[in-house]
Amino acid sequence: MKMVENICPEKKQQFSNVFLARSTVSRRIEEVSSDVKRQLEAKGVKFEFSSLPCDESSESGQ
C-alpha cells in the first residue's frame, strides 16, 4: 500500500479492496522474474560487452 500512496494516492481505496493471497503474490513475482530474465537473455545475445553490478543487498539469501 505504501507504493500506491506514492504512485497514485487517489486510487488507494480501490487498491485496499483487492485481496491477493500470499501464494498468488509469490507466483506473480516468480512469473515477472522469469519474464525479465527471458527478455535480458534475448537482448543479451546482441551485446558485445556487458556488465551487471550486484551487491549483497540484491541477493535473496536463499
pLDDT for the residue 18: 82
Beta carbons within 10 angstroms of residue 14's beta carbon:
10
pTM value is 0.48
Sketch the domain layout of the chain as residue ranges.
1-40
Buried b (16+ CB within 10 A) or exposed e, 25-46: eeeeeeeeeeeeeeeeeeeeee
DSSP state of 17: T
For 4-52, how does the pLDDT look when each residue is reduced to its tens digit (9 = 90+)?
A: 788 888 888 888 888 888 899 899 999 999 999 999 899 888 888 777 7
Structural contact between residues 15 and 1, judged by C-beta atoms closer than 8 angstroms: yes
Confidence category of residue 60, pLDDT binned at 50, 70, 90: low
